[in-house]
């Protein structure tokens, strides 16, 4: 039963951006399609805000979310809202990645990849430390390139190409980034302990997700 649940969750995770791409290309967007698109985004965003804000702000937050939903699904604002939220959510995620990795490259701080690798493997050889810095730089360049390409496709190419890039190709490109780096790392450092992506994510959420913890100085 647990395996079935994970399979269905994975299927939904893969199908969502494809359906979103289809909805973006439609001339007329129906209300149920808008709700399908915005429900996960509003749920996740609302949950994060509720955790960040004190309870005194909750009624105002609920009102804002309700007004936002009404504005999007009523009148002629549906398609505009769909495109806006689609583009802004893609840009926001990439700006967060840029901030997450970029701030650890400032003078006096240890690159985030080095911090995670040190937590997983203990002592790091100088060559590995240098490599982790370059990987952190790569994770700064990646989200910036995503935003630049997205803007270029939207302005100079077509809505279809833009939506295909930020929706359908977004997850495969992210996975390709992970797999490509891991493959190169294993070939360059065959004797270095091998860790999985899930292990790295677990270490980050446990030890660095709290504000200030990823700002360690050298």
At residue 73, the pLDDT reads 59
Secondary structure in 3-state letters for 11-55: HHHHHHHHHHHHHHHCCCCCHHHHHHHHHHHHHHHHHHHHHHCCH
At residue 14, the pLDDT reads 79
* Model pLDDT for residues 87-107, shown as the tens digit of each residue: 888 888 898 889 989 999 999
Average pLDDT of the chain, as a whole number: 80
Q: Is the pLDDT of residue 147 over 80?
A: yes
What does residue 125 show for φ and ψ, rounded to 5 degrees?
A: -65, 155
* Model pLDDT for residues 132-146, shown as the tens digit of each residue: 999 999 999 999 999
Percent of the chain at pLDDT exceeding 70: 68
User: CB of 92 within 8 A of CB of 171?
Assistant: no
Domain spans of the chain, in order of start: 2-207
* 0.85 surpassed by pTM: no
At residue 151, the pLDDT reads 95
For tokens 């190709």, what's the residue? 169
What torsion, rounded to 10 degrees, do the Cα atoms 159, 162, 167, 173 define? 160
* Model pLDDT for residues 160-199, shown as the tens digit of each residue: 999 999 999 998 999 999 999 999 999 998 887 877 777 8
């Amino acid at each position: 039963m647990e395996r079935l649940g994970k399979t269905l969750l994975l299927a939904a995770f893969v199908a969502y951006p494809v359906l979103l791409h289809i909805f973006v290309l439609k001339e007329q967007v129906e209300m149920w399609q808008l709700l399908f698109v915005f429900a996960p985004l509003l749920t996740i965003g609302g949950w994060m805000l509720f955790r960040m804000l004190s309870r005194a702000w909750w009624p105002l937050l609920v009102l804002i979310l309700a007004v936002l939903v009404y504005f999007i699904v009523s009148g002629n604002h549906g398609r505009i809202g769909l495109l806006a939220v689609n583009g802004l959510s893609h840009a926001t995620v990439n700006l967060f990645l840029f901030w997450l990795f970029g701030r650890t490259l400032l003078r006096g701080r240890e690159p985030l990849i080095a911090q995670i690798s040190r937590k997983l493997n203990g002592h790091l050889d100088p060559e590995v430390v240098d490599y982790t810095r370059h990987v952190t730089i790569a994770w700064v360049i990646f989200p910036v390139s995503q935003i630049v390409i997205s803007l270029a496709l939207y302005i100079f190419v077509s809505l279809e190409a833009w939506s295909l890039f930020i929706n359908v190709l977004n997850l495969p490109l992210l996975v390709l980034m992970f797999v490509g780096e891991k493959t190169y790392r294993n070939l360059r450092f065959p004797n270095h302990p091998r860790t999985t992506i899930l292990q790295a994510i677990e270490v980050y959420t446990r030890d660095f997700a709290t504000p200030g913890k990823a700002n360690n100085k050298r």
